[in-house]
Structure 1
Amino acid sequence: MRAKGAVIHEVGGQWKTEDIELDDPQDSEVLIQVMASGLCHSDDHFVTGDIPVTLPMVGGHEGAGIVVKVGKKVTRVKVGDHVSTLFIPACGKCRYCARGQSYICNNGAGMEHGMGMDGTPRFHIADSGQGIGGVVRLGTFSNYLVCHESQAIQIPDDIPFDVACLVSCGVATGWGAAVNGGNIRPGDVVLVMGTGGVGMNAVQGARHAGADHVLVAEPVEWKREEALKFGATESFESVEAAKGRIAELTNGQGVDVAIVTVGRVDGKLLGEALDVTGKGGVTVLTAVGSYERSIEASPQDFTNLAKSLQGVMYGLCNPVSDIPRLLQMWRDGRIKLDELITTRYTVDEVNQGFADMHGGKNIRGVLIHSHE
């Protein structure tokens, strides 16, 4: 069938809206009519080269839509179901899934190529017939996609698609960074560095977990103001500006948990987070960035002060259970999702969406698809 989606052809290029030919779903695959897709910073990292992938590729991994066709062996969803896409096709059988770590399932291997589970493409550029991948085997910047059934989870029909797409990645990642990665407890003092689509949910997760103080370091003034609405207790333009208050709250010891959710991280910035983390505290890293083998931190601090550094993939969530739970929390009024959406775009406006992200104008932009 014919689809329409945004494709990136080269590092440093622009997203190009193109006609795409889409294969039928195979035995264990589903065809989804994508209704909405979040504009996640991770997709921009494919453009900058911070995350190496095989190009060209259809963008997008935060999706929500309707199942329109299923393969003959599909059991998880049926035609007509509303679904959220999942970042990783967790098998439920490997040693990681078996011990509750589906966020690092072995099926994640090879996802940088964007092909189906069998290694072949589902998307083809209409003009040339060239087979191309979709981001993390999805490609939600297309108005239709084919994926393995393990990357689709049924959601209630009354959940708006623009809300549901956010939970598929950014909300789960930020929330989980605080609740799972930081293991925040009542009474903790927490610092969140960066309040985009992931960081703002780390703020929400920290308050939900019972932190007494949730401080935010964010250079964009209106985002600092918004962070207070999402649960931050105080906001500062930088970590340096927050140091005095951190010292007051912790008797000079440092925060219990520092969560790094900036747009791009490097060794210097990570070292800054480690420096303000106190005794027995944890620095949580969920931001993407440099591959350089350098962190500006004292190894002795880890020993003498019993600090730890926790890397976080997908919020350390098990999405099959966590995504429905987060959506239920939204329905119960215990988490803000609508308020995360700053601007809605068409697929032809995807480059503007990322420009707005870089300009600090969005918490999260959302792509709304048409199906004419």
Structure 2
Amino acid sequence: MQAKAVILRELARPAPYAESKPLSVEDVTLLPPAPTDLVVKVIGGGLCHSDLSIINGSRGTPLPMALGHEGAGEVVEVGSAIMDIKVGDPLVFQFSVSCGRCRNCQSGRPQICEEAPKARAKGELISGGSRIRGDGGEVIRHHAGLSCFSNYVVVNRGSVVKIDDSISMDDAAIFGCAVMTGVGAMLNTANIRPGQSVAVFGLGGVGLCGLLGARAAGAGTIIACDVDDRKLAKAKGMGATHTFNAADPELKTKVMDLTGGGVDVAVELAGVVKAMEAAYSVAVRGGRVVTAGLPPTGAKFAFEQGDLVSNEKSILGSYMGSCVPVRDIPRFLAMYRAGALPVDGLIDRKIGYDEINEGFDRLASGDALRQILVPHG
């Protein structure tokens, strides 16, 4: 099957990307699906900072790679071993496929499947190999088993969640990454209780989803922190009770004074070590610090061990919002329909292939929170 894909062939080309053009839109061939695979027509793909961290070289990856890990689409072909999905079904992609057999999957934590990283590191599907070929049979790697900036993709059954058709598929795209990661970090990992105080560090798409998740959980004081005043204004309009510029040298003092000693939960969603340090510093004695941000490879966060012990703080990593996708994506969609998660307010614009490089310039500069690539125009 012929398709179009957004291909990255070289890491860390200089910005602006509108000039250096690290991403090319290429004609590719999709190999037939394996028995446990699906062919999906992609309706929308979200531009995310995780994509940007690959483009700018912060996180390494095998190349050439067809990018895109957040999106939604419609089934056009079903592998012979799949019985619970049919042609025409709407789907949301999820970027951490699970094997269903390893100890983490069996203990109810499929988001940290032990087998999935092995396929991901090679740019392959968990069912084995790549299904994307370039000119002359060149092997093109899959991004997170998805590559959903393509107009059609072959994915493993475990990489999708079937949904109903009551939501625009363009809007549904962000539920597979931004919503799962941000909302899940608040509801699943942090386990916020009504009335608790929360500080959110980093107000990109994931961070603002986290803010909405804190609000939906019934948090009392919701403090939003970022270095970009435009994002602080956005957060205020989405339910933050207080906003502080993260570059303010008095930030810790102001948060401590406001909350009477610190927040119950401090959540880092920027993928920046300084943001993690700030989050740790404002957690109350006995408080929880949660991080779902992915910094550049090799970045390290340090803390005083005595402080951790004597103040009985907890530091929790949150991958994919500690979500079970087949449980949480429908749950978050139901909250969206009920008005509890107005995440469509994060989508700045919808773009075509001709804007893909410029789109990442806008994301990097903070001029956009979430843009949706619409492969079929």
TM range (shorter): over 0.9
Aligned-residue sequence identity (percent) comes to 36
For residues 158 and 350 of structure 1, the distance between their equivalents in structure 2, rounded to whole angstroms, comes to: 28
Quote the residue 1:198 is aligned against: 206
Quote the residue 2:330 is aligned against: 324
User: Relative to structure 2, which stretch is displaced further, 115-124 or 190-199?
Assistant: 115-124
Quote the residue 2:16 is aligned against: none
TM-score by length of 1: 0.94
Quote the residue 2:240 is aligned against: 232
- 1:323: how far off? 0.2
Aligned pairs for 1:131-210 within 5 A: 131-210=139-218
Count the aligned residue pairs: 367
Say whether residues 1:309 and 2:290 are aligned partners.
no
SS of the residue 1:109 aligns to: helix
Q: Structure 1: which 5+ runs fail to align? A: none
Quote the residue 2:19 is aligned against: none
Q: Which residue of 340, 343, 348 maps to 1:334?
A: 340
Decide whether the 8 Å contact of 1:89 with 1:108 is kept in 2.
Answer: yes
Say whether residues 1:357 and 2:363 are aligned partners.
yes
- 1:116: how far off? 2.1
Quote the residue 2:306 is aligned against: 300
Say whether residues 1:265 and 2:272 are aligned partners.
yes
Quote the residue 1:69 is aligned against: 77
- 1:118: how far off? 4.0
SS of the residue 1:66 aligns to: strand
- 1:221: how far off? 2.0
SS of the residue 1:352 aligns to: helix
Say whether residues 1:218 and 2:226 are aligned partners.
yes
Q: Which residue of 233, 247, 255 maps to 1:246?
A: 255
SS of the residue 2:363 aligns to: helix
- 1:298: how far off? 1.2
SS of the residue 1:136 aligns to: coil
For residues 160 and 232 of structure 1, the distance between their equivalents in structure 2, rounded to whole angstroms, comes to: 27
Decide whether the 8 Å contact of 1:279 with 1:307 is kept in 2.
Answer: yes
For residues 45 and 227 of structure 1, the distance between their equivalents in structure 2, rounded to whole angstroms, comes to: 23
Say whether residues 1:347 and 2:356 are aligned partners.
no
For residues 65 and 370 of structure 2, the distance between their equivalents in structure 1, rounded to whole angstroms, comes to: 22
For residues 293 and 43 of structure 1, the distance between their equivalents in structure 2, rounded to whole angstroms, comes to: 18
Decide whether the 8 Å contact of 2:127 with 2:156 is kept in 1.
Answer: no
Say whether residues 1:122 and 2:112 are aligned partners.
no
Change (3 A) 1:292 1:117: closer
Change (3 A) 1:28 1:145: same
- 1:239: how far off? 6.0
Q: Structure 2: which 5+ runs fail to align? A: 14-21
Aligned pairs for 1:14-29 within 5 A: 14-29=22-37
SS of the residue 1:249 aligns to: helix
Cα deviation per residue 1:267-301 (whole Å; 9 max; x = unaligned)? x4422221111211111111111343632421111
Cα deviation per residue 1:163-222 (whole Å; 9 max; x = unaligned)? 111001111100011112222112221111111110001101111112110101122222
Cα RMSD, aligned residues only: 1.6
SS of the residue 1:106 aligns to: coil
For residues 36 and 127 of structure 2, the distance between their equivalents in structure 1, rounded to whole angstroms, comes to: 11
TM-score by length of 2: 0.93
Quote the residue 1:255 is aligned against: 263
Cα deviation per residue 1:142-162 (whole Å; 9 max; x = unaligned)? 010001111122111232111
Say whether residues 1:90 and 2:90 are aligned partners.
no
Cα deviation per residue 1:234-263 (whole Å; 9 max; x = unaligned)? 111116454343222332x2211111111x
